[in-house]
Amino acid sequence: MPKVVFDSLDALRAKIGQEVAVGDWITVTQEQINLFANATGDHQWIHLDTQRAAAESPYGTTIAHGFLTLSLLPRLMADAVQLPKAKMSVNYGLNRVRFAAPVPAGKRVRARITLLGIEEVKGGVQMNWKTQIEVEGNEKPACIAETLARHYMA
């Protein structure tokens, strides 16, 4: 899907309360899951042991860590939405996060992005986004997150 481009904050403000973009699919690989486990120290078998997961897991395979799924948000957002030029953008926080369904290794995910609000902050704006991370072929999203980002103007 083509990236949605916003040339101004006014154009972005016109989308408050609306779905802004649906991103392209990306694959979550076992290699990514393994690297995330090593980075975080979370080596639970449900994420890493493919043979045990095939035999014992209700999902029949390994699954991505919930926090790995959440950590894909910046990439999924950047692939789907281009914001107006800024001096700097930073993640400011999260208001709500839910891990509603697993992401099996090898499955594709994408983001469905809604702009909830924009407020002025010193030097820029704070944007409140609702992002659902969908798993291809699943009705239920893997992750639903309300994220806050600050966009400091050039």
- Give the tens place of pLDDT for each residue, 100-126: 999 999 999 999 999 999 999 999 999
* Number of domain units in the chain: 1
Beta bridge partners of 148: 93, 128
Q: Is residue 33 part of a domain?
A: no
Whether 55 is covered by a domain: the verdict is no
Using one digit for the tens of pLDDT, what is the confidence trace for 64-77? Answer: 999 999 999 999 99
Give tens-digit pLDDT for 10-59: 999 999 999 999 999 999 999 999 999 999 999 999 999 999 999 999 99
CA–CA distance, 25 with 111 (Å, rounded to integer) = 8
Model pLDDT, residue 1: 74
Give domain status of residue 10, yes or no.
yes
Indicate the length of the chain as a whole number. 154
Domain presence at residue 18: yes
Per the structure, the complete domain to which residue 123 belongs is given by: 4-28+65-152
In a domain, 51, yes or no: no
**From the centroid of its chain, how far is CA 87?**
23
pLDDT of the residue at 81 = 96
pTM of structure: 0.92
Spatial separation of the C-alpha atoms in residues 102 and 105, rounded to whole Å = 9
Q: What is the CATH number of the domain that holds 21?
A: 3.10.129.10
